[in-house]
Amino acid sequence: MPFIEVAREKLASYNGKVSLHQADLNTDDWAVLPPGPVHAIVSNMAIHDLGSEEAVTTTYKKAARRLEPGGSLINADLVTRPDDKEPPTDGKLKVPRHLELLDHLGFVDVRCTLDFGHYACVVGRKDRF
C-alpha cells in the first residue's frame, strides 16, 4: 500500500485536523499544497528518484521555503552505504551528506532517526528565527 494511504489510515482518527497533499517534487511551487506555510513535509523513497545531489538540494530548499517556522522535514530514503568508496552518481547520498545539506540550509535539530545502511531517515526542523 502506498505510504500516503498508510498515513491517511493512521491519521483518520484526527477527523480533518490533518490534511495530506501529494506534490510533484519537480514543480517549482508545489502548487497542490495549500497556500502559505505547511506543518510538515514527509517523503518516503522518492527524493533519491530525482537523480542527483543537486535535485536533493533543490528539494530541501523548496521544503525550507514552504515550511512554517518550527515545521518538520522528514525524509526516509534510499542512501549510499557509509563504507561505499565511490561517490554517489544518483540521488542516493550518504547520510552525513544529507545532514550537512540540511544544516547548511538552516534546518535545526538535524539528525538521522533510522539507518539500515541502504535506507535511512533524516529529519530537521525549520528554525523559528
Ligand X SMILES: C[S@@+](CC[C@H](N)C(=O)[O-])C[C@H]1O[C@@H](n2cnc3c(N)ncnc32)[C@H](O)[C@@H]1O
Identify the residue among 7, 46, 74, 112 touching ligand X (CB under 6 A). 46
Residue 31 engages ligand X in binding (rule: CB under 6 A): no
Count of residues in the chain: 129
Residues 49-108 that bind ligand X (CB under 6 A): 49
Judged by beta carbon, residue 49 or residue 127, the one nearer ligand X is 49
Identify the residue among 26, 87, 106, 111 touching ligand X (CB under 6 A). 26
Judged by beta carbon, residue 7 or residue 112, the one nearer ligand X is 7
**What's the rounded Cα separation, in Å, for the pair 25 and 6?**
20
In the chain the beta strands, taken as DSSP E runs, fall at 38-44, 67-78, 107-115, 119-126
Stretch that binds ligand X, among 11-19, 42-50, 96-104, 112-120 (CB under 6 A): 42-50
Residue 9 engages ligand X in binding (rule: CB under 6 A): no
Rounded (10°) CA dihedral 66, 102, 39, 111: 170
What is the DSSP pairing of strand 67-78 with strand 38-44?
parallel
The nearest distance, CB 24 to ligand X, in angstroms, is 4
Backbone torsions φ then ψ of 76, nearest 5 degrees: -95, 125
**What's the rounded Cα separation, in Å, for the pair 59 and 10?**
26
Residues forming contacts to ligand X in the complex (CB under 6 A) are 2-3, 24-26, 44-46, 49
